[in-house]
Amino acid sequence: MLWGCLRNNIKDVLHCMGVSSTLLIALSFLRNNTKEIMDWD
């Protein structure tokens, strides 16, 4: 029971880490694109 709970928590943590890293990559990508657009002006 305890091991199953631990395993589920690790899965949740990994999932959250994956989501947050994807968001960070998307944010940095957007920020770089907006910088380039600003430079064009």
- Domains in the chain: boundaries: 1-39
pLDDT at 24 exceeding the cut of 80: yes
pLDDT score recorded for residue 28: 92
pLDDT score recorded for residue 35: 78
pLDDT score recorded for residue 3: 76
**Alpha carbons 32 and 26: distance in angstroms, whole number:** 10
pLDDT score recorded for residue 14: 87
Q: Look at the pTM and tell me if it is higher than 0.75.
A: no
